[in-house]
Amino acid sequence: MWCVWTIIFVVATQTLVLRGQDAEKKTVILGGVFSDHPSRSTSSGDDPAPDNEALLTDEQAFMFAVDFINFEMQSNSFFNFQGLVKTPEYHTKGPFQAMLTTCSLISEHAVAIFGPKEHEDIDIVQSICDHKDIAHVITRWMYKPPYQRSIINFYPHSEYLTSAYFSVLTLWEWKSFTLFYEDNESLLRLGDLLNLAKNSGIVVSVKQLSEEENDVYRASLKQGVRSGERNFVIDCKIEILEEVLRQAQQVGMMTSHYNYFITNLDMQTIDLEPFQYSEANITGIRIFDPEAPLVRIMNMTIVSTVNPNFDVHQMKTETALIIDAVNVVAKVIDSKLSFSEVESTNVSCNSLKTSSHGYSISNHVKTSKNLGMTGVIEFDGDGYRSNFNLDVVEVREDGIVKIGTWNSSKGLITSEHVVENVYSDPDGLRNKSFIVITCLTDPYCMLKESSVQLFGNDRFEGFAIDLIHELAVMEGFNYTFLIRDDKTNGAKNETTQKWSGMIGDVIEGTADLAITDLTINAEREEAVDFTSPFMNLGISILAKKPGNAPPSFFSFADPFALDTWTMMALAYCCVFVSFFILSRLCQDEWTNPYPCIEEPEFLINQFTFRNSAWFAVGSLLQQGTEIAPIAIATRMLSGMWWFFVLIMVSTYTANLAAFLATENPIHLFTDVHSLVENMDKHKIRLGAKLEGATETFFKGKDDPTYQAIAQYMATHKDDMVRENKYGVEMAEGEGNYAFFMESISIEYETQRHCGLQQYGKLLDDKGYGIAMRKNSTYRKKLSTAILKLQASGELDNLKRKWWEEKRGGGVCSLVGESNEADSLGLQNVQGVFYVTIFGTILAAFLVVIEMLVATLRISKKAKISFKEALRMEMTAFLNFNSNVKPAIQEGSKSGSKSSRGSKCSRRSKSSNNNMTRPYGFIPTITKEELRD
């Protein structure tokens, strides 16, 4: 093994000394903004050595990394990388000078900017790089920097470092400790640790390492001693750490009774020999091991080519990170970008032009996985470095000894102890990073509408985006979304046996997960694994709502059904006949035609057959007549008829308004069978998503209807679409077009396109799932998390959010399901018919009683028997040809009438002729008048 590394070292050394560059290769400029030496623009690493000759400056490390990557890729790369460093003068340092330096590098075609170190300079450089779309690489600690599309930070993220710190404290089982911090940045760096300690019941005291004129840090350290505390956490710059420990020894804090934890990753670079025999427990962490093979090779190469006094044991973390950063960025440019993508562009801070590859470089770096001096280099979904290893070291008599390793997924493992994180499950997803491929399909993944420019995962929103977020929160994994531009879910090529689309991306390893409207079927499950369905659905038909039929000639009759009109006609006939009959039976309806004569010779009845029909018609049309009922029975019947008319006319008027406002629809088809039957008749076209699960569904069915649909789809490719949205547009456009798609997508579209509706029942039962590679260990975890979201109702909330609330949802639900009005059948108005019938029966009962009472009164008045009086009344009643009957006078007898009675009788008999009156005028009554 060492032979191989030696050969590599020799070749690397020779190549770096020669620095030969292939003239045919394209030069790619990598810019550096460093401030540890006077200004110099150079492409080599021959800077003066720093004060400590065993160290490298940032500029030297940067130039060495550029030369090393050129050697490493000299035989298989089309690019030649050149480092360009611009360092401001000491008296001009500051954000303004950093801005000028950055703009100078950009104008000289730098594709990426490395540095600077100062916080105040980083912000201005980042602002310029983001505006000009230039990749910006930093290698120092920052507390949750703002997520920009171009920034890449190779320094371990604060949250992961905090987890490592707390694991060490848990290992030592500290119940309390005192924190010594240097400045505000130091306190900010340990803020999360203080919160974890508080939540775990650990008592913490916080003291600042303030400098006194005489005691320097001793005053602060003495306060710790006086408090009786024995456990200390120290966070400060590496430049003062050795002095802090030395002064702690001077005040008697370096004995076996005291424990120290140093948070600085560069603790191993200072001289710890004075403390090796103090018996104090001093523990720290580091991100790279100086004895690792790759680090040793780098050490020998640097000694041979850059600095012969270099000692890797004193290399600072940020120096190693610069070398790793250059190595990763250069490899990404070489493997991911083409010649045309890195063509020089005249970009400057004073122009409106921007680079075309800065974001691509940043995104590819964040989604890559590499190995460098600082171990595994990997980023989470937010662009923070994650999934790295830290060595836990301890100061002992024989020097610095590695006692354990911390990993973001396994926690802290030592030779004697295992301190697990909450991520102890070997198959768990905690801190794992996934590439999630999807496509821009509403409402699963959409570009977020924002007034400011967004980057990374922040660019997207939708049901699938929220679902992945919820799963990530539950399981603790990181993710980065990758968009497939052609939006194909995936189909198997029968010739090559390879899968296309997102299924193919998962199989080939381009992505770890695939999520969209991805249907689970048997063919796909042979190629990939799916989680439990997060949504159940089936195939259905989307088409325009049926058109309205033109109004018929008798559309005014539509408010009532035929049986209602028939019963109304029958009710009218029954009522006016009842008026005619009851009025003849009722004595009060026989009235004196001449009110001036007290005892008329005859009586008349106003309810003739024609008058009864006219009275009923006048009431029915709400116009009224000159005829008015007199008797109780006829008035009862009139009241019931008027009530009937009131209800029926009001109902007709209300329903007529609905019929005038709407028209009855014409259904071209109602389900899949009627669709196939009426395709030719109504010239209906149909389609589905090309190479989708819906098309596959029809191909594999034996049903003649489904076979006819599959044949149509195979021969009419113009009616097939690449995306569902195009099918929706065709269904909503001119002509008759039926689009087959999943019911859940139909529900989404009909919430926004009010002219469309779903036809028929579901043709199958299936679900959408998240796809992953076959035999994935995390399938069970994701499926369980999805089931938990279903049980909690969170999936229903997400569906309601994106289907009914966001992006125009719920508009069509306000319109209503249907505007079609139904004719009122007999069952809707049968109650009023019953009321009329019962009222008529009651009126008939009353008229019989009234007739009998009136007959009894007449028999007493005329002094005849009740039977004779009833016979005379019935004779007059049954004489339907006449509306006149003789008036029975007082004292008249059957068979022999008085002279007055004879006169009345004679006048009655000659009622159709001119009659002579003993007084007054002589009226003339015609036959028609008597009949009326």
Q: Where are the domains of the chain?
A: 2-155+316-347, 158-286, 433-535+769-805, 562-659+825-931, 665-764
What confidence score (pLDDT) does residue 341 get? 64
Can you give the pLDDT at residue 625? Answer: 75
Identify which has the larger pLDDT, 375 or 340. Answer: 375
Domain 665-764, second-level architecture: 3-Layer(aba) Sandwich (3.40)
> Could you identify the residue written with the tokens 């710890």?
272
Strand residue runs (E) in 470-607: 478-483, 513-514, 529-530, 535-537, 539-544, 547-548, 590-591, 602-605
Least confident of 326-335, 598-607, 835-844: 835-844
**Statement: residue 215 has pLDDT above 70:** no
Q: What is the CA radius of gyration of the chain?
A: 50
Span 648-653, average pLDDT: 81
870 versus 196: the higher-pLDDT residue is: 196
Give me the mean pLDDT over the 728-747 stretch: 85
Question: Does residue 42 contact residue 64 with C-beta atoms inside 8 Å?
Answer: no
Percent of the chain with pLDDT over 90: 11
DSSP structure class, residue 881: T
The reported pLDDT for the residue numbered 921 is 41
728 neighbors 525 (Cβ within 8 angstroms): no
**Who's near 854: CB < 8 A, 6+ residues apart?**
587, 588, 873
pLDDT at 547: 67
Give me the CATH topology for the region 158-286: Rossmann fold (3.40.50)
pLDDT, mean of residues 477-493:
85
- Specify whether the CB–CB gap between 262 and 248 falls below 8 A: no
Q: In the chain, what percentage of residues exceed pLDDT 70?
A: 80
Cβ atoms 496, 433 nearer than 8 A: no
Phi, psi of 493 (to 5 degrees): -80, 115
**In the 8-state DSSP scheme, what is residue 802?**
I
Confidence of residue 10 (pLDDT cuts 50, 70, 90): very low
| b (16+ CB within 10 A) / e for 320-339 | bbbbbbbbbbbbbbbebbee
The beta strands (E) that lie in 75-153 are given as 79-86, 110-114, 135-138, 151-153
- pLDDT bucket at 416, cuts 50 / 70 / 90: low
Q: Say how far apart CA 503 and CA 371 lie, in whole Å.
A: 29
- Tell me: the pLDDT tens digits for 665-686? 677 777 888 888 888 788 888 8
CA atoms within 13 A on the CB side of 915: 22
What is the rounded CA–CA span in Å between residue 911 and residue 325? 131
Between CA 744 and CA 517 the distance in angstroms is: 9
Q: In this model, does residue 261 exceed pLDDT 90?
A: yes
Would you state the structure tokens that stand for residue 270, as one six-digit string?
């200072």
Q: How far apart are CA 775 and CA 778, in angstroms?
A: 9
pLDDT greater than 80 at residue 803: yes
Residue 463: both structure tokens together = 């049901």
Higher-confidence position of 931 and 385: 385
The better pLDDT of the pair 236, 834 is held by 236
Q: What is the dihedral of CA 47, 48, 51, 52, to 10 degrees?
A: 70
Nearest CA among 243, 65, 233, 208 for reference residue 139: 65
Q: Hey, what are 849's tokens?
A: 């009683």
Residue 898 CA to residue 907 CA, distance in Å, equals: 14
pTM: 0.49
Identify the residue with better confidence: 751 or 551: 751
Q: What is the pLDDT of residue 772?
A: 92
Tell me what pLDDT residue 910 has: 39
For all residues of the chain together, what is the average pLDDT? Answer: 78
Task: Look at residue 231 in the predicted model and tell me its pLDDT.
Answer: 93
Mean pLDDT, rounded, for 625-632: 80
How far apart, in whole angstroms, are the C-alpha atoms of residue 410 and residue 430?
Answer: 9
143 against 29, higher pLDDT: 29
* Alpha-carbon distance values, 121 to 35, 40, 63, 316 (Å): 10, 18, 21, 21
- The reported pLDDT for the residue numbered 654 is 79
**H helical segments located in 863-922:** 866-878, 899-909
Query: Is pLDDT larger for residue 358 or for residue 404?
Result: 404
Whole-Å CA distances, 407 to 393, 410, 481, 614: 14, 5, 25, 102
pLDDT for 88: 63
The whole-angstrom separation of Cα 221 and Cα 250 is 10
**Residue 814 scores a pLDDT above 60:** no
Of 821, 826, 841, residue with least CA distance to 575: 841
Each residue's pLDDT tens digit, 459-479: 889 999 999 988 888 887 888
Domains 158-286 and 433-535+769-805 share a fold: no
β-strands 602-605, 590-591: how paired?
antiparallel
Nearest-angstrom CA–CA distance, 906 and 892:
14
Q: What are phi and psi of 892, to 5 degrees?
A: -70, 150
- What's the average model confidence in pLDDT over 504-523? 88
Contact 367, 379 (CB under 8 A): yes
What's the rounded mean pLDDT across residues 365-391?
A: 83
Residue-level length of the chain: 932
Q: Is the pLDDT of residue 818 over 50?
A: no
At 356, is the pLDDT very low, low, confident or very high (cuts 50, 70, 90)? confident
Separation between Cα atoms, residue 760 and residue 605, nearest integer Å: 65
3-state secondary structure of 285: strand
| Mean predicted confidence (pLDDT) in 272-300 | 88
Q: Is 849 helix (H, G, I), strand (E, B) or coil?
A: helix
Q: What is the pLDDT of residues 132-188, one digit of tens each?
A: 888 889 998 886 555 556 788 899 888 888 888 988 888 888 999 999 998 888 888
Pairing mode, strands 231-235 and 259-262: parallel
- The better pLDDT of the pair 888, 494 is held by 494
Task: Give CATH superfamily name and number for 2-155+316-347.
Answer: Response regulator (3.40.50.2300)
pLDDT given at position 49: 43
The pLDDT of residue 791 is above 90: no
Question: What local confidence, expressed as pLDDT, does residue 825 receive?
Answer: 55
pLDDT over threshold 70, residue 72: yes
Quickly tell me which residue has 């992006």 as its tokens: 807
Helices (H) and strands (E) in the chain, counts: 30, 35
- What topology is assigned to 433-535+769-805 in CATH? D-Maltodextrin-Binding Protein; domain 2 (3.40.190)
